[in-house]
Structure 1
Amino acid sequence: MTARIDHLVTSGTFALDGGEWDVDNNVWIVGDDTEAVVIDAAHDAGAIEAALGGRTLRAIICTHAHNDHIDAAPALADATGAPILLHPDDLPLWKQTHPDRDPDGELADGQELSIAGTVLKVLHTPGHAPGAVCLYAPELSTVFTGDTLFQGGPGATGRSFSHFPTIVASIRDRLLALDPDTAVRTGHGDSTTIGAEAPHLDEWIARGH
């Protein structure tokens, strides 16, 4: 059976640098009828486990370690036995939310994760966070971008651990090099495509945020 992409939206709070904001997060589930991975276990472990529908969860993959993308990860890991995977550069952010629980494994640029016969290639795309990654699934013509690239531009870089020139370089060098038809499935909001976003790179740079 070919891997498919299931989508769940969960709601909660994003907290950083002393501020809090209500947010809706996209949770992506990639797999088939028997096994899956979860990309970004946000806010509601019970809802994510229910969406798995009894499938074996092979991994909980974190695109980055802002609290709204990882707050439900330990509970989901405890419920399913799945390992939590995070790029090590985001460990300081992870520790702000989960000081007493480390991730179970590391993500590295170029690493390939296989689920249901489909490969997810890890692309290290720092800028929104030091250890931010995107997950490219060529067989599904999809890249899961977390908060690195949205419909309309780069993720925010106005808070701790973020850097605008770095995120622009990550998007230009790692993401815009993908096929223009590649679907961009984001951490928040609507999906887009590489081809829809690529023409606007110079506008983003001029805007400078």
Structure 2
Amino acid sequence: MSRIERVVTHGTFELDGGSWEVDNNIWIVGDDSDVVVFDAAHTAAPILAAVAGRHVVAVVCTHGHNDHVTVAPELGTALDAPVLLHPGDEVLWRMTHPDKDFRAVSDGDTLRVAGIELQASHTPGHSPGSVCWYAPELGAVFSGDTLFRGGPGATGRSFSDFPTILESISTRLGALPAGTVVYTGHGDTTTIGDEIVHYHEWVARGY
């Protein structure tokens, strides 16, 4: 039976000359045989321990910030799995992995694991290549840093844009069922319905 497991790792997010301590969520989706790993944050060992020898269909990077791709090539090699990223974030990827490649993801791409489908939705704003992955059978969306409990992801640094993230949330995530659980890149889960009701507040205060 398909399930969602969480691993939390600690490290730093670095961009524009700044460095911030962060805890990152890594989501492992699948069953006792096959899984997909969402994001490759900070340290490989706890992720490998959670995978526990299962076949990994892909290591999916929701976006290219260093704290989400830290050990992606290492995991890809160790798990014999492709590393997926939207090419809009190649410039960010190269800041961390200048000599490593990834497999390009496009809007509308799908992955199948453990009898369920994961659908890629390009949601730029936090970064140009941010992608959320929707799993209809699980009533879940893996949002990376596009949407959190309490509002949109940050847009105050290079390669980000507030109007763009608002459009992504309203047109893409806001179109999902209200009960869809949002599995975020940092912090606690939420639901689409609990967040989207505050959309006009975000617009008004320039969140």
Query: For this pair of structures, how many residues does the alignment match?
Result: 207
Structure 1 ranges of 4+ moved more than 6 A: none
Structure 2 length as normaliser, TM-score?
Answer: 0.99
- CA–CA separation in structure 2 for the residues paired with 1:154 and 1:34: 34
Could you tell me which of 142, 145, 149 is aligned with 2:143?
145
The AA in structure 1 aligned to 2:65 is H
**Counterparts of 1:206 and 1:64 in 2: how far apart (Å)?**
27
TM-score, normalising length: structure 1: 0.98
List runs of 5+ in structure 2 lacking aligned partners.
none
Shift of 1:194: 0.5
- Do residues 156 (structure 1) and 154 (structure 2) align? yes
SS in 2 for 1:197: helix
1:123–1:135 CA contact under 8 A, matched in 2? yes
Of 159, 167, 170, the residue aligned with 1:169 is: 167
Residue identity matched to 1:70: V
SS of the residue 1:157 aligns to = coil
Paired residues for 1:1-209 under 5 Å: 2-103=1-102, 105-209=103-207
Between the aligned partners of 1:139 and 1:193, the Cα distance in structure 2 is: 15
Identity of aligned residues (%): 61
3-state SS of 1:144 partner: strand
Encode CA deviations 1:127-186: one digit per residue, 9 max, x unaligned: 000000000000000000000000000000000000000000000000011000000010
- Is the CA contact 1:46–1:76 (under 8 Å) kept in the aligned structure 2? no
Consecutive unaligned residues in structure 1, runs of 5 or more: none
- The DSSP-based 3-state class of the residue aligned with 1:158 is coil
Counterpart Cα distance in 2 of 1:168 and 1:109? 18
- Aligned residue for 2:166, secondary structure, equals helix
Query: How many Å separate the matches in 2 of 1:69 and 1:162?
Result: 16
Q: For the aligned residues, what is the CA RMSD?
A: 0.6
> For 2:172, what is the secondary structure of its paired residue?
helix
| Cα offsets for 1:38-82 (capped at 9, x unmatched) | 000111111100001110111000100000000011111121111
**Deviation, structure 1 residue 123:** 0.4
State the distance in 1 between where 2:195 and 2:115 align. Answer: 29
Counterpart secondary structure, 1:64: coil
| Distance in 2 of aligned mates of 1:183 and 1:115 | 19
